[in-house]
Amino acid sequence: MKLAINGGNKVRTAKFPAYNFIGAEEEKAVVEVLRSGVLSKFLGSWSDDFYGGKNVQELESKWKTFFNSKHAISVNSNSSGILCALAALGLGPGDEVIVSPYTMSVSASAVLVHGSIPVFIDIDPETFCIEAKEIEKAITNKTKAIIAVDIFGHPYNSKEINALAKKHGIKVIEDCAQAPFAKRDGVFAGNLGDIGIFSLNYHKHIHTGEGGIIVTNDDDLAERCRLIRNHAEAVVDSMGYKGNPRNLIGYNFRMTEIEAAIGICQLDKLEALVSDRQEKVAYLEAKLSKIKFLKMPKVDKNCTHAYYVHSIIFDEDIAGVSRTKYIDAVRAELEVTEGREDDGVLIGGGYVKPLYKQSLYQNLNGVGERNFPFDPSFGFNVQDYKNLKLPVVEHLHYKALLTHELMRPGMSIKDLDDVAEAFIKVAENLAELK
Ligand SMILES: *Cc1c(COP(=O)(O)O)cnc(C)c1O
């Protein structure tokens, strides 16, 4: 059968359905807030309004109950949540933070804002998360924290990593932006480390446009995050804060009442949306697993995966053609997604470039003339990013990882059949690509 990339007929000629789970409930909630005129009730001083308005507090209360966390603190993004968490934990100049190189850039760059140094380590070839074995090799007497990312929706190995962190007196920040409702040993992602940060940006499982939620079971960490979210320095004195006085320099990281009202509605939909992804991935995998050069993502024992994306490993040696050639041919068989036409067919090679390859790290451009905290004159132990080679992540990114989003809620069985048929058609006609 002639491949579409060589002029044959495409498997699919209609667009895939849009991913849109904003409905009448959100609309009603937003209109109510608009009519009230109170679009945010936060006040950056010690008062009843220091903790925000009705919707903000309701979202936080609902979130902590839903996820079984002692505290939930809303912020205006996961990125600001990570900044809060690092500050709340007392991070400072020269402290080292061990982090995955295969994640959204902010998981590492937030560290630099505090003058701390990101230390990148290689990832596990099957779960794509960082593992205890590599972390242990990177620990020094300056290591203060680990940022464990539940990448693609797979919970990090909290059993081993938490034990190691405890042994060395290191804190674990869990970036669970991609893993709401994923679980390990019955515990929700977000609660696996000392502090977890969700994202509610437009691209995530559920969203409020922009937004984030910090969760923790630690009372003092929670209060420090609430302070840092809302102008800490203007509040600590009148509040009578008795904890560690350091790092209490605040920002405005407050969520609006409109976003919170949307978040309350979205949270009701999360379980169904994640279960739907899990079912669709299982359906697709049953069909794709007969392609011998594709390996479906591993899910650790006692874990559930939230499938932010479906991450598949492509074996070029078995296929005999490159990943790029295979993906281009599969994409040519399929169609774009409604509302995301500019993104093309939602299948790609790799994820983000390994972070240490960014010019920020390659050229050590930090803050100000002396490039704080990188310049040797500061005396910090900066990792040699330029000569760093992490073979697993580089192989995955440049050669082997294939990610796609054609398993999102809204897709029908017929849509999934078309996706599987495209992968299989190209696999059965690889000779045409050689
Ligand atoms: C989306 C994402 C972020 C950033 O979230 P924002 O809410 O946009 O700041 C951070 N880390 C990971 C792993 C993400 O996927």
CA–centroid distance, residue 198 to ligand 1 (Å): 8
Instruction: Retrieve residue 2's tokens.
Output: 């002639």
103 lines ligand 1 (CB under 6 A): yes
Dist. CA 275–CA 337, nearest whole Å: 21
Neighbour-count burial for 74-99, b at 16+ CB within 10 Å, e otherwise:
bbbbbbbbbbbbbbbbbbeebbbbbb
| Residue 382, pLDDT score | 97
Do residues 76 and 214 lie in contact, with contact meaning Cβ atoms separated by under 8 Å? no
79 lines ligand 1 (CB under 6 A): yes
Dist. CA 255–CA 229, nearest whole Å: 9
- pLDDT, one tens digit per residue, over 340-360 is 999 999 999 999 999 999 999
Position 1 pLDDT exceeds 90: no
Instruction: Retrieve residue 223's tokens.
Output: 């209060």
Dist. CA 62–CA 31, nearest whole Å: 21
pTM: 0.97
- pLDDT, one tens digit per residue, over 271-290 is 999 999 999 999 999 999 99
Dist. CA 426–CA 419, nearest whole Å: 11
Average pLDDT of the residues of the chain: 97
CA–centroid distance, residue 290 to ligand 1 (Å): 34
175 lines ligand 1 (CB under 6 A): yes
Return the residue whose CA atom lies nearest to atom 10 of ligand 1. 104
Alpha carbon of 433 to those of 324, 335, 357, 421, 429: distances in Å? 11, 20, 31, 17, 8
**Closest ligand 1 atom, residue 80 Cα:** 9
**Closest ligand 1 atom, residue 77 Cα:** 7
- pLDDT, one tens digit per residue, over 385-416 is 999 999 999 999 999 999 999 999 999 999 99
